[in-house]
Structure 1
Amino acid sequence: MKDTLKLRYEVDPEEINFIDMIIKAYEGIGTVNVDHDNPGEIWIDVTEGTRAEVKEVMADLGKKFKVRLISEKKNKLL
């Protein structure tokens, strides 16, 4: 099994598509997922090696619009 992390954020719902495009532009640093039960919440699946970079990107985006880290949890992938 490979360990990954789930970084959960509260963001401006209008910016979710933009966030997804930015993370995709970094090729492989994470995968953005939308929490449809909680509008404005996303999670980004990252590895331990990309965690810091994703958090840095999200902090930078947080200077432009609402971005708040809610939680960080470990996932297990098969």
Structure 2
Amino acid sequence: MAKTTEKLFYQVDPVQINFIDMIIKAYEGIGIVNVDHQNKGRIWIEVTAGTKLEVKEVMRDLGQQFEVEYLGENRAD
């Protein structure tokens, strides 16, 4: 049975997208960062129910250093 994932959408400083990706990867397995190439600075992070709160916390912490705006979430089955 495949795990259900959710997408957490954010608006971030475009310069920081690579840094965000490296941070999320450093937390092995908590999420996958994707870039919306149609909207500058828009990303989504694919998470599971077990990692969603941790990813939100990491992003909230990063928001203390640069622009991070939580835009909501969407199921991606």
- TM bucket, shorter chain: over 0.9
Unaligned 5+ segments in structure 2 are none
- CA RMSD between the two structures: 0.7
User: Are positions 1:48 and 2:46 aligned together?
Assistant: no
Deviations along 1:31-69, one digit per CA (max 9) or x if unpaired, are 000000001000000000000000000000000000001
- State the 1:2 CA deviation: 2.9
1:1-78 → structure 2 map (5 Å cutoff): 1-76=2-77
Q: How many residues align?
A: 76
* TM-score, length of structure 2 as denominator length: 0.96
Give the Cα separation in 2 of the matches to 1:51 and 1:30: 8
Normalised to the residue count of structure 1, the TM-score between the two structures is: 0.95
Deviation >4 Å, runs of 4+: none
Identical-pair percentage: 64
Rounded to whole Å, the distance in 2 between the matches of 1:7 and 1:63 is 18
Structure 1 alignment gaps of length 5 or more: none
